[in-house]
């Protein structure tokens, strides 16, 4: 498999800008989302693209703010259609951006439903080009504790730095 973007870590959010940049050079390839161990059906629709600006307090009473874009996918078969081409997907996003003004660096969330089961939230973990198609694996968007995530990140950075104090002198 030729990797277009390979994150290396689970559930790393791909921004809208990275997604579009990755598929621009291959507009004629089908873009196939996968979730729950299977491909989205060939007749899928992008039923809605919405942008939001969020402000919140996390569980540690820290203010948080972020931009997020939601791409809603309706997972259906329709009229023997095949998977949407990357160029068409890009055109849909461009059209929405003209009217709504999408932030290319925004967190990207996919809402997926077959019209019967409840909508589920996913994030894109990686993009790969294989077998003549662009594959976008979607992974469930997990809940997280932002203060804990920040603390773990700080610990990881400190360990990486201070693990070689003699070599770098970074903890002096």
Question: What's the predicted TM-score (pTM) here?
Answer: 0.81
Question: pLDDT digit string (tens) for 71-102?
Answer: 999 999 988 899 999 999 999 999 999 999 99
pLDDT of the residue at 7? 36
Q: Which ranges of the chain have pLDDT less than 50?
A: 1-11, 165-166, 172
In whole angstroms, what is the distance from residue 157 CA to residue 143 CA? 23
pLDDT of the residue at 4? 44
Cα distances (angstroms) measured from residue 66 to each of 44, 53, 56, 88, 106: 29, 6, 9, 28, 7
pLDDT of the residue at 163? 60
pLDDT of the residue at 56? 93
pLDDT of the residue at 3? 42
């Amino acid at each position: 498999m030729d990797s277009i973007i390979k994150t290396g870590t689970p559930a790393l959010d791909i921004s809208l800008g990275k997604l579009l940049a990755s598929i621009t050079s291959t507009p004629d390839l089908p873009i196939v989302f996968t979730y729950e161990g299977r491909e989205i059906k060939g007749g899928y629709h992008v039923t809605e693209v919405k942008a939001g600006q969020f402000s919140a307090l996390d569980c540690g009473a820290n203010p948080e703010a972020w931009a997020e874009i939601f791409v809603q996918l309706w997972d259906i078969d329709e009229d023997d259609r095949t998977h949407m081409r990357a160029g068409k997907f890009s055109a849909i996003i461009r059209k929405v951006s003209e009217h709504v003004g999408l932030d290319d660096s925004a967190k990207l969330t996919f809402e997926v439903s077959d019209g019967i089961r409840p909508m589920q939230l996913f994030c894109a973990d990686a993009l790969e080009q294989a077998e003549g198609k662009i594959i976008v694996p979607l992974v469930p968007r997990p809940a997280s504790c932002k203060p804990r995530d920040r603390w773990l990140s700080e610990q990881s950075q400190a360990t990486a730095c201070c693990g070689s104090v003699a070599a770098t002198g970074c903890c002096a």
